[in-house]
Amino acid sequence: MIQVNNLSKIYNNGVKVLNIANLEIPKGESFGLVGNNGAGKTTFFSLLLDLIQPSSGFIKNNDIQVNTSEAWKPFTAAFIDESFLIGYLTAEEYFYFIGDLRHQNKADIDALLKKHEDFFNGEIIGKKKYLRDLSKGNMKKVGIIAALIGNPEVVILDEPFANLDPTTVNRLKKIIKELADNPDVTVLVSSHDLVHTVEVCTRIVALHKGEVVKDIQTSEETLKELEAFFAV
Amino acid sequence: MLKHFIRLEWKSFFRSASFGTNVVLKVFMGLMALYFIGIFLVLGFGIYPMLKDKGLNPFTAVNKFLIYYFVVDLVIRYFMQKMPVTNIRPLLTLPIKRNTIVHFTLGKTSISFFNLLHAFFFIPFSIMLMLHDNAVSHVILWHLGVVGIIYMNNYINVLLNNKDSVFYSVLVVVAGCGLAQYYKVFDVTTYTAPFFEGLYTTPYLFIIPIMAAVAAYYFAFNFFKNNLNLDEGLAKKSVEAKTEDFNWLNQFGTLGTFLKNDIRMIKRNKRPRGTVVASIVFIFYGLLFFTNKIEAYNNPTMQVFGGIFVSGGFLLNFGQFVPSWDSAYYQLMMSQNISYKEYLSSKWWLMVIATLISTLLASFYLYFGWQVYLLIVVGAIYNIGVNSHIVLLGGAFNKSAIDLTARKAFGERQAFSFKNVLIALPKILVPMGLYSLGYFIFNPMIGCLFVAIAGVLGFAFRNFMFGKIEKIYKSEKYATIAAYKQNN
């Protein structure tokens, strides 16, 4: 589904923040990206969403080169950070707005919200609050569910586990696993948290200073292997 | 302790986002400050002989209107003077006494430009008074009283901050007094003037304003201190949100989706609301042109200028910041299923609708003759046909993010680049030229016709222009995202 070819990102000051020679993510895979701060996780996702320009190479999303065509947008959804939220909208308005853009009708959205009712834990819908006034954790919940609107084939979530309470983390894991079980949906998740990532992903890639240093199919030993790698 | 505070202030001033990058803006702000200082100085020295020439007693006349001076001062402060609360949060958990923090923040407001500016009027005026046979000691006492009132205003403003209801009711009362005085129903100055006179004639009366200033400081101090908690005074104000569907816009498809959002944005954020206020002000701006009160405006070329402004307030103010209005969530827009064309045309429609409404509202100009209103209608046609595209084109190069929630537009980093100025010129100059051409060669009607034809022609090029703007959006995409990210 996603092919990375000689991709690199170098900033003006000559710092190479990402350098991936070759990476192939097949359709239906749940792909976990782990690494320390500055490893290049967000940079990779930003390149995948064509928010920054690659210094060399390219990414193809379903055979569409992302920085030359926009045809990948209809089947790709992402939540990177709060800048994906529109602060002056209420949660419902935001969901319907994204729904409109993804050609979903109101009933589709209502059904999706109903399905994830317990994920919201009664703190989002009908709360008479603009998104900018929500707590960080609740903002994240809104962003994650919004990324599921319109049954996208590629779902990109940057640090979805951060800022969430333990119960919500478990509910989120369930949601991601459910997505991963769908053979048509490719999920890309990044995280600092090795345990969570190992649990929901079938394949894990570790980045270190922009380079791929581990690429493993998840198994019993994966967590140990990763923990050993990141040990101090 | 003070040393640390001052050092922090110094850094926050010189490293602030609005100061750091744009040299042009720095110079511009400096010039503005100098301009105001200059005006106040000229007024301070000049008002004495000026009033004398008109056969008035300058001191009495000034005392009479001093009450309005101070009210206007308070209004300007309310809108422009920043409350220094934002820097307090990180200090709360440090070992600093609360009293120290509050004294310092209040003290900081005391040396603001809004206080110092008055010195440039009152000091020269006091000197003039002394030079014209007024008792030096009494002038000094009067002066002290005035200083007391200025500082009272300063601290009252601290107390008033964000209390819109109080502020606007005061404003209504004062405006009422002003009108009553104008129509000679009731003259509030007959009650206030003796007080200001008294500051001069009665020794020690100046103590009252000084005491008032001290009292205002005391109340402001207590108010601040009691609210120095993250959940009270320093909390982010959040209003109860209402979900608004605007279902009637659904029939316009994706265009409606964007229009809905833009309407919500304007309704719910302070900065965009400001553009609506500005457009109303612009409607009345035309009065200066069409009542022939101001000589410089009293010629055909300038009248077109007025015509463009009356209907174009919203268009000019809103359009120049497309797409900056969406800067906070620009990454979302860029990764969503959005075509630039639909995005642009929704903004375009918004501007067109606002222009049409402004034109309708401006129909009271018919009072000044149908020729005047014709100029406004022609201006609206030009605005819709040509200017709407020009502002969108200019906005495409605009890389400054807008903080939607910021209340004060003052000190914000504006799009101040040579490119923008260049793009902005035809907005006004072309219709002025076209009209003058028709006016002087043929007659005013032909002049109007020329401008209108230009507008209609511009309309015909809409798709072409959108294509061009779209290209700019695409080529500037990464730079724009990066710039917005930096500012947020």
> What does the pLDDT look like over B260-288, one tens digit per residue?
889 999 988 888 888 888 888 888 888 88
State the nearest Cα–Cα gap between B43 and chain A, in angstroms. Answer: 45
Instruction: Return the bridge partners of A208, or none.
Output: A211
Q: Report the residue from B240, B336, B488 with minimal CB separation from A73.
A: B336
Contact residues on chain A for B260, CB-CB shorter than 8 A:
97
A114 interface with B at CB cutoff 8 Å:
no
Option in B243, B261, B332 nearest A90 (CB): B243
Please provide the average confidence, as pLDDT, over all residues in chain B.
82
Nearby residues of B218 by Cβ (< 8 Å), 6 or more positions away: none
CB contact under 8 A, B332 and A85: yes
Q: Which of B335, B342, B405, B471 should one mutate to test binding to chain A, selecting the residue with the greatest count of A CBs within 10 A?
A: B335
Torsions phi, psi of B381, nearest 5?
-60, -45
At residue B230 the predicted structure's pLDDT band, cuts being 50, 70 and 90, is: low
B228 to chain A, minimum CA–CA distance in Å? 20
Q: How confident is the model at residue B243 (pLDDT cuts 50, 70, 90)?
A: confident
Orientation angle between helical segments B370-382 and B300-319, nearest 10 degrees = 40
- CB distance from A205 to chain B under 8 Å? no
Which position has the higher pLDDT, B254 or B478? Answer: B478
Please check the confidence at residue B193 and state whether its pLDDT lies above 60: yes
- Please give the ipTM for the structure prediction: 0.86
Q: What is the mean pLDDT of residues B195-224?
A: 86
Q: Is B404 an 8 Å CB contact of chain A? A: yes
Contact B257 A73 (CB under 8 A): no
Work out the average pLDDT over B357-375: 89
Residue B406 is predicted with a pLDDT of 62
Per DSSP, the three-state class of A154 is strand
Whether residue A87 and residue B265 make contact (CB cut-off 8 A), yes or no, is no
Q: Read off the pLDDT of residues B287-299 as tens digits, 9 standing for 90 and up.
A: 888 877 777 777 7
If you compute the radius of gyration of chain A from its CA atoms, what whole number of angstroms results? 17
> Does the pLDDT of residue B80 top 50, yes or no?
yes
Distances (CA, A) of B488 to A88, B249, B307: 15, 31, 37
CB of B342 within 8 Å of a chain A CB? The answer is no
* Residue of A111, A31, A83, A22 whose CA lies nearest to A58: A22
Report d(CA B82, CA A155) in Å as an integer.
43
Instruction: Taking residues A2-26, report their average pLDDT.
Output: 90
What average pLDDT does this structure show over B214-234? 80
Mean pLDDT of B148-177: 80
Among A146-160, B154-168, B225-239, B370-384, the least confident range: B225-239
How far apart CA B329 and CA A87 sit, in angstroms, is 8
Residue B415 has pLDDT above 60, yes or no: no
Q: What is the per-residue pLDDT for B485?
A: 81
Residue B352: pLDDT band (50, 70, 90) is very high
pLDDT, mean of residues B356-367: 91
Predicted confidence at residue B177, as pLDDT, reads 80
pLDDT score, position B414: 44
Closest CB to A73: pick one of B242, B335, B482: B335
Residue range B174-189: mean pLDDT, rounded: 78
Nearest to B269 among A88, A101, A103 (CB): A88
Q: What percent of chain B has pLDDT over 90?
A: 9
- Which residues, in sequence order, are CB contacts of B455 under 8 Å at separation 6+? B378, B381, B382, B383, B384, B385, B386
Q: Would you say B341 and B258 are in contact if contact means Cβ atoms under 8 Å apart? A: no
Q: Is B240 on the interface with A (CB under 8 A)?
A: yes
Examine the pLDDT at B166 and tell me if it is beyond 80: no
Average pLDDT over residues B200-219: 87
At residue B408, does pLDDT exceed 50? no
Spatial distance between the Cα atoms of B89 and B108, rounded to a whole number of angstroms: 16
Q: What pLDDT is recorded for position B198?
A: 83
Q: Are B362 and B311 in contact (CB under 8 A)?
A: yes
**Global pTM value:** 0.75
| pLDDT recorded at residue B78 | 79
Shortest alpha-carbon distance between residue A154 and chain B (Å): 12
Q: Which residue has the higher pLDDT, A146 or B187?
A: A146
Q: How far apart are CA A222 and CA A214, in angstroms?
A: 10
B7-21, B67-81, B210-224: least confidently modelled range: B7-21
| Distance of alpha carbon B370 from alpha carbon B366, whole angstroms | 5
Of A73, A85, A97, the CB nearest to B261: A97
Residue A227 scores a pLDDT above 80: yes
Q: Is B337 at the interface with chain A, CB within 8 A?
A: yes
| Residue B338 in contact with partner chain A when CB distance is under 8 A | yes
Any bridge partners for residue A8, and if so which?
A19, A56
The confidence score (pLDDT) of residue A205 equals 93
Judged by a CB distance cut-off of 8 A, whether residue A90 touches chain B is yes
> Rg of chain B over CA atoms, in angstroms?
26
B175 versus B455: which is more confidently predicted? B455
Q: Which residue of A has its CA nearest to B250?
A: A100
pLDDT in tens, B84-143: 665 677 777 788 888 888 888 888 888 888 888 888 888 988 888 888 877 888 888 888
What average pLDDT does the segment B434-447 reach? 86
pLDDT band (50, 70, 90) for residue A138:
very high
Substitution target in B337, B342, B481 with the highest count of A β-carbons within 10 Å is B337
Residue B86 pLDDT: 56
pLDDT at B232: 63
Beta bridge partners, A154, equal A76, A186
Looking up tokens 């790709």 gives A76
* Interface size between A and B, measured as CB pairs under 8 A: 87
DSSP-based helix, strand, coil % in chain B, nearest 5: 80, 0, 20
Determine the straight-line distance between the first and last CA of chain A, rounded to whole angstroms.
35
Q: Which of B7-11, B302-306, B346-350, B414-418 is the least confident region?
A: B414-418
Element (H, E) at B282: helix B270-290
Q: What are phi and psi of A189, to 5 degrees?
A: -130, 135
CB of A72 within 8 Å of a chain B CB? The answer is no
Mean pLDDT of chain A: 91
Q: Does B487 touch chain A (CB under 8 A)?
A: no
CB A159 within 8 A of CB A172: no
CB contact under 8 A, A73 and B328: no
Q: What whole-number distance in Å separates Cα of residue A26 and Cα of residue A154? A: 11
Angstrom distances, CA of residue B153 to CA of B62, B148, B163, B467 = 19, 9, 15, 53
State mean pLDDT over A178-202.
92
Distance from C-alpha of A79 to C-alpha of A158, rounded to nearest angstrom: 6
Judge: A83–B331 Cβ closer than 8 Å, yes or no: yes
Number of residues assigned to chain B: 488
Using an 8 Å Cβ cutoff, are A153 and A75 in contact? yes
